[in-house]
Amino acid sequence: MTVSEKIFSKASGTPVKAGDFVLANIDLAMTHDITGPLAVQGFYEIMRDEEEKKVWDPSKIVIIFDHQVPADSINAAQNHIMLRKFSQEQGILNYDVYEGVCHQVLPEKGHVLPGDLIVGSDSHTCAYGSLGAFSTGIGSTDMAAVFATGKLWFRVPETFRFEVEGKLPKRVYSKDLILHLIGDVGVEGARYMAAEYAGSTIRSLSIPERMTMSNMAIEMGGKAGIIEADEVTEAYLKERVPGYKLDPYWKSDEGAKYLDVRHYDVSDLEPQIACPHNVDNVKPVSEVEGTKLDQIFMGSCTNGRFEDIKIMADIMGNEPVAKGLRLLVVPASKTEYMKLLKTGYIEKLMNAGAIIEAPCCGPCMGGSFGLLGPGEVGLATSNRNFKGREGSAESFVYLSSPATAGASALTGEITDPRKV
């Protein structure tokens, strides 16, 4: 079996294969301040005839406020109040506004384990596949059903395996790699499949780099983006889960059946850019160099970790942000923010002219702050560049790695980081 088939077999209590329909037990459910209110309303609709309107297992539900934090409107404030009351009433762990972006907080707090079946009412929930879980985004009404029953129907997905070999060149990172894969297969190339990343290149990646890969599986249509748990996963989890020991079962068997397998050698890969207005509109940086920028957004659940921001800051050195350019830096969590603070990077970036914001989703989804105006051009280390994603429908968003963001912050235009 593939690792995804193994996870669904465990979750449904019977051996399954790709294409089977199963009613699966959920190990963890996550919702946030945008999608949570509708899930709560749906839960009460489902439970309206029940004497006790209690969720199936409060210890398996996590609520995080990250999209509109602190509340940027009366409606947002009302949503937060509703979710706080629901969390208190049900005994659910609610990180509120204090910790940061859901897809960073859950792994770093030890909520994700290899072999888990995880759902979240956010499309980038597939990020947790970086730790060997099958993790996928669902709608708010599906989440209501999970709150009530702890179960959800699935069609066990086929697996699209990406075998990646070779050492990534200097100043080329996992963000460049995932953009390259998405550009190759297209936005529907892995529709409702488990995108399984494997090969020597993937094994050499750190957990933060793997998170970037799994996070963007949805941008090729994937149901999940999964990487087999290994000693790198074990080391990460041992710091967060007392007594954790790697179970070698959670990997694909030799001879497992895949719908498609593609092979890549990344030894000569150059930095990649996703151009407006689709994530699969990917070009080498050499083809878009010199594009003038109004704003750079450094952050998001894709590339807002300490390692990402350090890459950008190190490339910038002691040079200032280019005149006329806005550089917004938003760490993905309080933990990542504190690492940057203690190592001096926050001070360094602020002295350079960057605007540092508290951990949240911020400009990624066009909420709270940092919106692009009509005709403005932005470069972001986030995961989507759809029309209107970061503000005006008449703006233009390019996606890049932290290294390209750092180089471009010095020049005010898209710049090849290898030339700085």
pLDDT tens by residue, 19-51:
999 999 999 999 999 999 999 999 999 998 888
pLDDT score for 382: 92
CA distance 132 to 155: 19
Q: What does the pLDDT look like over 47-75, one tens digit per residue?
A: 988 888 999 999 999 999 988 888 888 99
**What values do phi and psi take at 245, rounded to 5?**
-135, 130
* pLDDT at residue 24 in the model: 97
Give the confidence band of 317 by pLDDT, cuts at 50, 70, 90: very high
The tens digit of pLDDT for each residue in 154-204 reads 999 999 999 999 999 999 999 999 999 999 999 999 999 999 999 999 999
Binding residues are 301, 361, 364
Higher confidence at residue 50 or residue 226?
226
- Checking if the pLDDT of 386 tops 90, the result is no
Q: What are the strands of the beta sheet with 260-265, ordered from one edge?
A: 224-227, 194-198, 159-165, 260-265
Beta-carbon neighbour count of residue 54 at 10 Å? Answer: 15
Q: Is the pLDDT of residue 270 over 80?
A: yes
pLDDT for 374: 95
Tokens of 367: 């909420």
Mean pLDDT throughout 125-143? 96
- What are the pLDDT digits (tens) for 404-413? 999 999 999 9
Q: How many CB atoms within 10 Å of residue 420?
A: 18
Q: Rounded to an integer, what distance in angstroms lies between the CA atom of residue 82 and that of residue 79?
A: 5
Sheet with strand 377-380: strands edge to edge:
282-284, 272-274, 396-399, 377-380, 295-299, 326-330, 355-356
End-to-end CA, the chain:
46
Instruction: Give residue 52's pLDDT.
Output: 87
Element (H, E) at 351: helix 345-352
**Single-letter code of the amino acid located at 49:** D
- Give Cα separations from 260 to 45, 71, 158, 161, 196 (angstroms): 41, 44, 9, 6, 10
Reported confidence tier of residue 370, pLDDT bands at 50, 70, 90 = confident
Q: What is the pTM of this model?
A: 0.91
Q: Which H, E and C letters describe 15-72, residue by residue?
A: CCCCCCEEEEECCEEEEECCCHHHHHHHHHHHCCCCCCCCCCCHHHEEEECCCCCCCC
What mean pLDDT do residues 396-402 have? Answer: 96
> With 90 as the cut, is the pLDDT of residue 369 above it?
no
- Predicted pLDDT of residue 362: 84
* Cis amide bond preceding 70, omega within 30: yes
CB-side exposure of 95: number of CA atoms within 13 Å?
Answer: 28
Which residues sit in the known binding site for [4Fe-4S] cluster? 301, 361, 364
Question: Which domains does the chain possess?
Answer: 3-264 (3.30.499.10), 272-414 (3.30.499.10)
* Burial label, 311 (beta-carbon count in 10 A; 0-12, 13-18, 19+): buried
